[in-house]
Amino acid sequence: MSDLRVLHIVQTPLDFVGGPATYVRELSKHLSMRAVKTEIISPKPMKFNDEIKSLSNDYGVELHYVDFSIFAPLLRVPWFFSAKAHKLISRIVKDYDVVNIHVESTFLQLLMNTFNSLKVISTIHGIYPYEDVEVLKHEPLNFYRLFRLMFVSPQHYITIREHITKGGIVIAVAGFLAEIIRHMFKVSEEKICVIPNSVDTDLFKNIREDLALAVVNEVLTKKGFNRTLDDKDNVILFVSRLDPRKGLHLLLRGLAKMQSKSWMLLVVGIGSHSYERYLKDLSFKLGLIEKVLLTGNVPYSKLPYFYSIAQVYVLPSMFEGLPATILEAMACGTPVIATKVGGIPEVISNGYNGLLLDSLSEDEISRAVEQLLMDSSFRKRLSQRALRTIQEKFSWKISVEKYIKLLSRLI
């Protein structure tokens, strides 16, 4: 397929942690390895990290950037990204065989028929009207959520509808998303497929504890932490953007209820200043300020070291599509505790290859974490089965084959 050219359009900067940015980076890398010419349009990243440089230098993926430096807060609004990127998209899109839209990032282009003569795929990472309503079941309505419901979510809905109406193909990153799309938009079976979030099993794998610990401590020291870790620490890990819907505040409250205090919580990721300040205040109020390290972002290539030193990975989300971080943790042999929401039950079977939380109860979180910290043989069984699950179903080596078959069918 060396003559085929695929253009990905994503409204999330490629240096963003998790979600669509990781999906696009990894898919583009693996397509390039299969001789598919791959290019990306995205917002200009805040930081040109090693993963972005590697896309160009090592895999030959051409990157096109839209500068949003002074408009970053509006990046989540589909019409704004679409309007700002319109000139670039219109200029280069004719050079491609397939356009793959991510996060409903081409609101204007679909309305203006910019892709008329092209094969168009829309990869759905979440159904935002559905997601926003689900989150309201757990969190009170505020100005931000009201703004999303009234102005942002309808644009996502209209963009998906326009894409489907014009005969485009839909990829869902989880089976439950595919079912919602089928029912919400009356999509026929041949127009939708599931290519799940996946993980690079060459990068994400278990690393010897002493080596992993040395690398993690080096990262912590460079970030100015006085506290380093040793092999006696029971490390609990959380990797995600710091957003209330990811449930980190619930995890903190759950950990505060544990009888055992011989643990450390590593939090990898960034979020709004207000939520980070709230988390720090909450840690202080709960008496956990010495037990919680908020590391900010760490290089993607260093994440396997963080997973490898952790006894438990916890993601108590209110809603998810299919989070890449649980796949990364499982690939590294880290037992996972996650909420039974979205596509997570498609990966984790409770008590077999991880633990599923039925609710967002602080007591349930506390019991699940304590159970895994106290039972090393149970952790080992979960770890072995989790690794097998990833190798059989959620490796990029498998998912890129599904994508190439889809391209072959389209062309």
Instruction: Quick: pLDDT tens for 178-188.
Output: 999 999 888 88
We report the CATH number of the domain holding residue 285 as 3.40.50.2000
**215 shares its domain with 178:** no
Say whether both 39 and 142 belong to one domain: yes
Predicted local confidence at residue 23, as pLDDT: 94
Q: Same domain for 247 and 308? A: yes
In a domain? residue 286: yes
Are 367 and 399 part of one and the same domain?
A: no
Q: Write down the pLDDT at residue 288.
A: 94
239 with 336, same domain: the answer is yes
Q: What is the mean pLDDT of the chain?
A: 90
Task: Report if residue 280 sits inside a domain.
Answer: yes
Sheet holding 62-66, edge to edge: 62-66, 37-43, 5-10, 98-102, 119-124, 169-172, 192-194
- The pairing of strands 5-10 and 98-102 is parallel
Q: Are 315 and 337 in contact (CB under 8 A)?
A: yes
Q: Are 83 and 164 within one domain?
A: yes
Summarised one tens digit per residue, pLDDT across range 33-44 is 999 999 999 999
What single-letter DSSP state applies at residue 11? S
Q: How remote is the C-alpha of 408 from its chain's centroid?
A: 27
Beta strand 235-239 pairing with 312-315 = parallel
Q: Residue 121 domain-assigned?
A: yes
Beta-strand (E) ranges in 217-366?
235-239, 264-268, 292-296, 312-315, 336-339, 355-357
Whether residues 190 and 229 share a domain: the answer is no
Q: Span 108-131, mean pLDDT?
A: 85
> Does 203 map to a domain?
no
Q: How far apart (Å, rounded) are the C-alpha atoms in residues 278 and 39?
A: 39
Alpha-carbon 223 to chain mean position: 24
Calpha distance 52→122 (Å, rounded): 23
345/46: higher pLDDT = 345
Question: Are residue 218 and residue 124 in the same domain, yes or no?
Answer: no
Same-domain pairing of 250 and 143: no
Name, in order, each residue with C-beta under 8 angstroms of 89's C-beta and a sequence gap of 6 or more.
9, 41, 106, 109, 114
295 and 355 in a single domain? The answer is yes
Of the candidates 308, 300, 299, which has an alpha carbon nearest to the alpha carbon of residue 231? Answer: 308
378 in any annotated domain: yes
Q: How many domains does the chain have?
A: 2
The per-residue pLDDT for 311 is 97
194, 219: one domain: no
> 215: domain range?
209-393
Q: Is residue 204 part of a domain?
A: no
* Least confident piece of the model among 82-86, 125-129, 300-304: 125-129
Instruction: Give, for 369, the enclosing helix (H) or strand (E).
Output: helix 362-374
pLDDT of residue 75: 67
CA distances from 159 to 82, 106, 370, 375 (A): 11, 7, 44, 48
Q: How confident is the model at residue 78 (pLDDT cuts 50, 70, 90)?
A: confident
H or E stretch covering 40:
strand 37-43
280 shares a domain with 270:
yes
Instruction: Report the run of H or E that residue 39 belongs to, with start and end.
Output: strand 37-43
Domain annotation covers residue 159: yes
Confidence of residue 155 (pLDDT cuts 50, 70, 90): confident
